[in-house]
Amino acid sequence: MKITWKKIRKVWAITGATVFVLFTAWNLIAYQAWGVDDAVLESDEQVAVDLGDETLSFTPRNGLKKTALAFFSGALVDPEAYAPLARTVAEHGYKAVVVKLPFRTAPDPGEAIARAGAVIAADPSIERWVVGGHSKGGSLAARLVLDNPHLAAGLLLVGTSHPRDFDLSAFTLPITKVYATNDGLASVEEVQANAPLLPATTRWVRIEGGNHCQFGWYGFQFGDRPASISRKAQQEILADTVLAMLERINSHE
């Protein structure tokens, strides 16, 4: 059989289209929330849950503290993947709001940042907000703090190489950065390379064996590395770190 350039181009076109379809299908599945119990997303006597169009809100019904968490979800990730973390925070007396990214990617960062700003402005019962995010959500949180330092009492960066494009080293507000040794999307090398862009007072939490996708409850991402600890173990470290930061700020440390 004679092989012509026309046939080669046709094979390449079919192969490329097939790869694109499989890649898109995998991402649609992988970025969905996995393993999140239905009860996490339901209100009960302890926590009021509001599943809005732009946010997921978890508010303690009793003993609401004056410090809260506004958390940007990662790019493409189902916001419900961060509901277990937010629920845990709320069960300890701190309001937690997961900020959804417009179109799940925030093509206009200003729109996502405005959403978080609206969350902060809408609740006068909260005196101090910790702003945080995972992956690209961490970039948005850092940008919010840079452009609107009066809105935040603390910055939480989770599984992200940011800040990369601007310098926060002179900031005096509390900053906590959480990273994992098996993270293939925000590697230890990238995190360390950008460390000078954060203040010397930054609290660093290194999770041995953790990876990128286990900072939420969703599937495995292309580019990530397999974790050598369980998602539950990684999530417990993350939750403990977040609660410790909220407690420090709530106590005016």
Give me the sheet containing 67-72, strands edge to edge: 47-51, 55-60, 96-99, 67-72, 128-134, 154-158, 175-180, 203-207
Q: Which amino acid is at 192?
A: Q
User: Is residue 48 in some structural domain?
Assistant: yes
CATH number for position 212: 3.40.50.1820
User: Is residue 19 in some structural domain?
Assistant: no
How many domains does the chain divide into?
1
User: Is residue 3 in some structural domain?
Assistant: no
Parts of the chain with a pLDDT under 70: 1-28, 253
User: What is the domain extent for residue 209?
Assistant: 31-250
User: Is residue 246 in some structural domain?
Assistant: yes
Tokens of 12: 């390449």
pLDDT in tens, 160-197: 999 998 999 999 999 999 999 999 999 999 999 999 99
Strand residues in the chain grouped as ranges (E): 47-51, 55-60, 67-72, 96-99, 128-134, 154-158, 175-180, 203-207
Q: What is the pLDDT of residue 30?
A: 76
Tokens 């097939």 sit on residue: 18
Q: What is the pLDDT of residue 29?
A: 73
Q: What is the pLDDT of residue 9?
A: 62
Q: What is the pLDDT of residue 19?
A: 47
The pTM of the full predicted model, rounded to 2 decimals, is: 0.90
Q: What is the pLDDT of residue 21?
A: 45
How far is the C-alpha of 167 from the C-alpha of 142, rounded, in Å?
10
User: Is residue 9 in some structural domain?
Assistant: no
User: Is residue 23 in some structural domain?
Assistant: no
User: Is residue 21 in some structural domain?
Assistant: no
pLDDT in tens, 59-85: 999 999 999 999 999 999 999 999 999
User: Is residue 17 in some structural domain?
Assistant: no
CA 232 to chain centre: 16
